[in-house]
Structure 1
Amino acid sequence: MLFTSLHRYLGEAPGPITEQMIDDAVSQGLPETGDLDWKSALPPEARFAQSDIVKDMAAMANSGGGSIVFGVEETNKRAVGRQEAGELNEGYERTLRRVAYTAITPPIRGIHVERITGDGPRAIAVVIPDSPDAPHLVYRDGHSFSAPLRNDSDTEWMRERDLEAAYRTRFSATADAAEVLGTMYAECLRAYDPSKAIVLIGVARPRHSPSKTRRPRNAIAGLRDEAWKRSAHWTNFDLRRSLSKPLNHPLDAVDPYAPRTGLRRWTALAADAVGGISAHTTVHDDGSVSLGWVGGAIITSDDIEVFVGDFLSLVREVAGSDAGTDVEIQIGLEWSGPADVICHEMDSNGRSRAAPSLFGRTFTRVHATVSTQDAEERYYEDVRTIALDCVNQFGIRGLSALMEPPLPPRR
């Protein structure tokens, strides 16, 4: 749910930015602040990369995030009227996001663009997230990189001590995030006994959580169901279930209709075991997700691929339409039994290949950052890459369950 600086100053509940909110800002003479900037109109698309908007975007990302609203006239930095912001078509929006990625270092991810329409002139809001990658640098005066910073309603340049503090904050936050992710992983693993069966664990945590709203209890079922549909589509479930080795989806093994409450989280426990499958998933109020699954004494490459698909589909579903949602993920395989893990390589017809693969006693956990705001096709590329990182550790070179694009239409 979108909640911006404009919502906060107007006392509005989370939701889309409306024309009434723009009218209220004008009637109240709402001033510019460190996280709210008025602009009369969009610059021409061909000149966007050379405009001061790029510097303003980087400055807000370096200062905790904020909103740039186009289509509002200002006098003495107060909103005094409305005018036509200009047209923001799909091509212009792609340009905006491309510039945020290529003209700013490191790129700003998770920018949200809101088109505000009604009876009055068009307005456009560009919402910049509080970036964990600050400080962001832009090319200044054609000869050097510098980091802009919001100082109340003005944009200035960071001094050396400001840069030093910003980098220290970034590195500290990265270390803290890794520690939290590791704690989540250990907590998820405690629900299982890896000496008796192979356990797959996936944990995810947003790099920046736009909201920490308590989801209603009945929302968990909808999240699970939609995530399962997407993952089933990725693996062509309707075709594969008729083969000699049908696919087992971890999300099939949890009961999302009776989740248990916990410390700022909901946990869906295992439903009645089917073929020895057991799983649980936890959805935290801050958008963090965990999924654990008992794969059995012997595992297949299909099992690993489907686990990755189910987990990352659920991560995307939980993120929903939140702006600025880059997610750190960690996926691991746990086994402490007396023998090496055997992983059977499967072909696209669900049949085991001649020889199993071994990986000895250790499996390197796969770490990655995924952007849940990417287009479905781009996100699916990340899913396949992460699944490959997992099965490659068994000497398996390709995927068999996560189908290659183009995908069939989802019904």
Structure 2
Amino acid sequence: MTFRSRRLEALFGGRLDQLTYEQIAGLAGVEAAAEAEDLEYKREVAAADPKGKEELAKDICALANHIGGALVIGLTDVKGVPTKVMDIDLADAHLRHLEQVIGSSTAPQVRYETYPIRNPDDPGRGFLILAVPRSPHGPHAVTTPPVKATEKALRYPRRTGSLTAWLTETDVATAYHHRFATMADRAKRLLDIEREALMALPPSNQPQLMVSATPEVPGNMPITQETFNRHRRNLLVTSPYLGEEDLPFSQVRVGSRRLTATMGEPHGYGYRHCELHRDGSGVWLSGIHSGTSTVDLKEFNFADLDTVVYELLSMLYFLGTHARDRAGVSGTVLVKAALIEAPHTHPHGPPRPQMAPLLPFRIDQTDEYRGRRMPLSTHTCAYADAEAVALVDDLADAGTALVQTAAYVADELIQAFGIAEATPVTRDGSINLAHWTTYNKVRIERWAQTTQVRLVP
């Protein structure tokens, strides 16, 4: 689900993807449901002529360029207050036409979600909700030719209160500056929290998976004795791993504008170190369970592909829940994952320790039936990373969208090892059970069955 709004969910009576016809029809005559910055009503949207196409593109861009929101089609309004139910055509051909119009009439193309809400007495008709999240890629322009030519009308709309206005040249320039400045700020913030977490690790030559996240708009997790005690209790009894109940963090401490949670012995195998920042940012380093093998007299460490994917899924989910549920973050987060041969092989890692020889690192898979390594990598890699922008709710809701994000990131990570695709997960959000070893398969299948994520045998 691409858009979540606590205000609209409270107003409508549920999540947009779970609403009933009666809930939307019940908004008629409710003054509290009047149009606002994040809500607009339309009797119908035909988008069959230039004016209709321009109007639809304008409405969608206006929401994306502001705080996001919902366009509810099938309700008339008087002065912004919904007044009368006017069911619209929900045939697939009509929905595809609207999709084509929005795709060809907005630039950059606006991401949105379509929710047809069918009349139980006439399933071919009902309401249509177009849900548009706030976009980190704005400003979005309407690309259809203007119906009324005017030298003053730039083609960038934005919601202003319950109305839509065109941005001025200054507004557009400022929006572009904000887009690039925000991305630069987030990238720097990501680098800062990575560097601090790496320096906090004990000396090690063990391969690590590091996942970090920082929000587009910072949140706020107050740190008081009361909140610390509450978060500490939760972290010490709840496993951060998907489908797992018995692996909570073993220690939680207060740090500078953050909580630090760890699992295992600092100098032991598989030590986990997690820093949860007050602004909703977070970073988690996990010593990856790896085996040792020798080929052509060259010894190396290798991690199973499904172990990397399982850790990545769990870490993305955990950092998403921290951002949303502890720091109150909404919108998007910039996430980054890195596979590193050892902490000091990260470009911003600590100095190399005086320890046992560092072994090269690769990604392979253990054949459970034969008990031996099946090669996947074509070469070793000391450092690989991948980035993505995700909606915080997509991560924290722990469903199909989480798997899609993990698949995108995992593919980029392992391509640095010469592997084309992370086969345990797919870009459409499915779990390929045939590509999981028994221990991880039990956990991921247990989780998927509770979240209705598609399992492929």
Aligned length: 381
* Equivalent position amino acid for 1:179 in 2: K
Is 1:201 the counterpart of 2:200 in the alignment?
no
* Kept after mapping to 1: 8 A contact 2:28/2:83: no
Cα deviation digits, residues 289-333 of structure 1 (max 9, x gap):
43211248967443566234422344247658x898544222232
| 1:224 counterpart (199, 222, 240) | 240
Aligned partner of 1:397 among 410, 415, 419: 419
The CA deviation string for residues 157-187 of structure 1, in whole angstroms up to 9 with x for no partner, is: 3232221111011111111111222222223
Choose from 80, 83, 106 the match for 1:81.
Answer: 83
Q: 2:424 aligns to what SS in structure 1?
A: coil
Task: Determine the C-alpha separation between the residues in 2 that align with 1:37 and 1:107.
Answer: 20
Distance in structure 2 (CA, Å) of the matches to 1:93 and 1:274: 57
Alignment correspondent of 2:40? 37
- 3-state secondary structure, aligned to 2:364: coil
Equivalent in the alignment of 1:127: 131
Structure 1 residues 63-78: aligned runs within 5 Å: 63-75=66-78, 77-78=79-80
Q: What corresponds to 1:269 in structure 2?
A: 262
- Tell me, yes or no, if the aligned pair for 1:305 and 1:402 is still in contact at 8 Å: yes
Q: Secondary structure at 1:302's aligned position in 2?
A: strand
Partners of 1:138 and 1:378 lie apart in 2 by 28
Structure 1 SS opposite 2:195: helix
Asked if structure 2 preserves the Cα contact closer than 8 Å seen for 1:345 and 1:353, the reply is: no
Counterpart CA distance in 2 for 1:22 and 1:260 is 50
Matched, 1:52 2:58: no
Q: Could you tell me how far apart the structure 2 residues matched to 1:78 and 1:59 are?
A: 17
1:291 aligned counterpart, secondary structure: strand
Identify the residue that residue 175 of structure 1 maps to in structure 2.
184
Distance 1:264 1:401, change over 3 A: farther
For residue 398 of structure 1, report the CA deviation from its aligned partner: 5.2
CA distance in 2, matches of 1:125, 1:81: 17
Which residue of 2 is the match for residue 386 of structure 1? 409
The whole-number CA distance in structure 1 between the counterparts of 2:49 and 2:432 is 35
Deviation at 1:277, TM superposition (A): 1.5
The normalised TM-score by structure 2 is 0.62
- The verdict on how the C-alpha distance between 1:133 and 1:169 changes in structure 2, with shifts beyond 3 A counting, is same
Tell me the TM-score normalised to structure 1 length. Answer: 0.68
Distance (Å, rounded) in 2 between the aligned partners of 1:210 and 1:94:
37
The partner residue of 2:108 within 106, 109, 130 is 106
Deviation at 1:401, TM superposition (A): 7.5
| 1:240-319 mapped onto 2 (5 Å cutoff) | 254-256=247-249, 268-271=261-264, 276-281=269-274, 288-295=281-288, 300-303=301-304, 306-316=307-317, 319=320
Three-state SS of the structure 1 residue aligned to 2:186 is: helix
CA distance in 1, matches of 2:99, 2:157: 19
CA contact (8 A) 1:49 1:103 kept: no
Q: Matched residue of 1:127: which SS?
A: strand
Distance 2:267 2:243 in 1: 17
Are the aligned partners of 1:137 and 1:147 in contact in 2 as well (CA < 8 Å)?
A: yes
Whole-angstrom CA distance in 1 between matches of 2:158 and 2:114:
20
Post-superposition shift, 1:337? 4.1
Matching residue within 358, 369, 380 for 2:389: 369
Check if 1:342 corresponds to 2:365: no
Kept in 1, the 8 Å contact 2:47–2:101? The answer is: no
Partners of 1:178 and 1:78 in 2: CA distance: 40
Greater relative CO (CA pairs within 8 A, separation 6+): 1
Pairs within 5 Å for 1:312-331: 312-316=313-317, 319=320, 326-331=332-337
Moved more, 301-310 or 34-43: 301-310
How far apart, in 2, do the equivalents of 1:292 and 1:82 lie?
A: 55
Matched, 1:352 2:376: no
State the AA in 2 paired with 1:292.
L
What amino acid is aligned across from residue 360 of structure 2 in structure 1? I
Match of 2:141 among 126, 137, 156: 137
Residue 419 of structure 2 aligns with an amino acid whose one-letter code is R
Specify every segment of 5 or more residues in structure 1 that has no aligned partner in the other structure, as ranges: 230-250
Counterpart for residue 407 of structure 1: 432
Q: What secondary structure is seen at the aligned counterpart in 1 of 2:159? A: strand
CA 57–261 in structure 1, closer or farther in 2 if over 3 Å, else same: farther
Contact 2:138 2:176 in 1 (8 A): yes
Structure 1 pair 318–189 and aligned structure 2 pair: CA distance change class (3 A): closer
Say whether the 8 Å CA contact 1:135–1:147 is kept in structure 2. yes
SS of residue matched to 1:163: helix
Give yes or no for contact 1:308–1:386 (8 Å, CA) kept in 2.
Answer: no
Q: CA deviation at 1:385?
A: 5.0
Aligned match of 1:232: none
Separation of aligned partners in 2, 1:319 and 1:387: 17
CA–CA distance in 2 between the matches of 1:71 and 1:210? 36
Amino acid across the alignment from 1:278: Y
- In structure 2, what is the Cα distance between the partners aligned to 1:116 and 1:56? 23
SS at match of 2:88: coil
- Report the Cα distance in structure 2 between the residues aligned to 1:269 and 1:205, rounded to whole angstroms: 20
Separation (CA, whole Å) in 1 of partners of 2:421 and 2:359: 19
* Counterpart Cα distance in 2 of 1:96 and 1:223: 44
Q: Deviations over 1:178-228 (max 9, x none)?
A: 122222222332431345534331112344689989997577666734x24
Q: Deviations over 1:256-283 (max 9, x none)?
A: 5986677887654304799721114456
Alpha-carbon separation, structure 2, partners of 1:327 and 1:208: 8
Q: Secondary structure, in 3 states, of the residue corresponding to 1:269?
A: strand
Deviation at 1:58, TM superposition (A): 0.4
Q: CA deviation at 1:115?
A: 4.5
What whole-Å deviation, never above 9, does each CA across 1:98-154 have from its counterpart, x for those lacking one?
A: 7655542223336474849899x9544433222221101121317999222234433
User: How far does residue 51 in structure 1 lie from its aligned partner after superposition?
Assistant: 6.0
